[in-house]
Amino acid sequence: MLESIDTDLPEHRPRLPGAQHPLDGIRVVDFSHFIAGPFATMILADMGAEVIKVEAPGGGDDLRRYPPVHPELDQGAPFAWSNRNKKSVALDLKSPHGIAVARDLIRNADVLVENFSAGVMQRLGLDYESCRALNPRLVYCSIAAYSREGAFADRLGFDPIVQAESGFVSMNGYPDRDGVRALSPVMDISTAMMVGNAVMGALLARGRMGCGQRVEVSLFDTAVLMTGYATMQTLFTGCDPQRNGNTSPDTCPSGVFHARDRSFYINSGNDKIFQRLMTRVLDRPDVAADPEYASGPLRSKNRERLFALLADAFICEDWSHWQARMRAAGVPCGLVRTVSEAIHSLEARDHGLVTRIPTLFSAGFPTSASLSAMVRRLWPIRWRHPLSGNTRRKS
């Protein structure tokens, strides 16, 4: 895949010379590992912050070895995906010298982010009170599986665990089998976004009050948020959401349909969209006028019959035919794509979502020894993987 990026992906378009970033001049010391913490600090780095990632000597962040690991780069795709635009330093935090260096970094930092297990930073002498004594302006962010204090502070947690415990898994899949988790680490990603919000809010408060503060973001709390408005629906009705597969309990017709050559998704979010679908796409004004389909609840009640009607119509033409008609009619629809199709799509190209930049990959793959030297030289200038998205490269 990487060998063909010159032909597969568009060239990166750099920012205008001298263009500033919102977090230029902000230094972040990153004690986090795996996904939620590193993805959060990557967001800060993308907005201009200088992020110094602290890793253990020898192995570093365990995510470096998550597959697939590139044989020359000696790091996995998940690590490259979540750690662009950072500097890295190996510190033995079990040694006095390592702790001394860490304290020096903290003394000159604006933000500290950590996601160790509860009690680890205290044992290292890097808890919030100790760090505040070094740097009263420090924004100190802890990412906990459940909490840093209280009855569940000892619990470890990963994305799939909080997907299960938040109710998220129970909502997804088909009604005749167990609920399913999302393969994408959606809770790690959403937690990272909440961390970005928390840190920037604390930085804004520091600008007004002149002092830093400690903020905490919980993976479990974020996972409950990610169940969406199902929480309020449950409180209203006393009933848990049921699994609906690819259909929607709230709108109809919404789901996966099959053209002659491809599968696609339609979301008829309101009565007007349904009317346009029937009159302007399928040329069925009789169905649009049928009183049994006059509202969303009625269409849901008669979903099986309506879906059969749609299936018989859509299978007669290719996706290109239906896409053109639905786009012209204002009916939300989209292909059911693979990940590879998505990152090579016209939409991704138009947005500059995945681009290539001149790096060590553009001239072929160096030997292991020369590659190691190049990574050491390039990493401090915010080297990033060519597949990692549309961000800047700063020298």
Find where tokens 């990557």 sit. 42
Report in angstroms the alpha-carbon separations of 6 from 1, 2, 341, 357, 359: 10, 9, 17, 9, 12
Kindly give, in sequence order, each residue whose CB lies less than 8 Å from that of residue 142, ignoring residues fewer than 6 positions away: 114, 115, 121, 128, 148, 214, 215, 216, 217
Task: Match 């020898």 to its residue by tokens.
Answer: 58
- The answer to whether residue 188 is catalytic is yes
Tokens of 18: 């001298």
The catalytic residue among 30, 61, 110, 188 is: 188
| 8 A C-beta contact, residue 134 and residue 127 | no
**Separation CA 226–CA 189 (nearest Å):** 11
| Joined tokens for residue 226 | 């990610």
Q: How far apart are CA 215 and CA 235, in angstroms?
A: 29
Measured in whole angstroms, how far is the alpha carbon of residue 281 from the centre of its chain? 34
266 backbone dihedrals φ, ψ, rounded to 5°:
-115, 140
Catalytic residue positions? 188
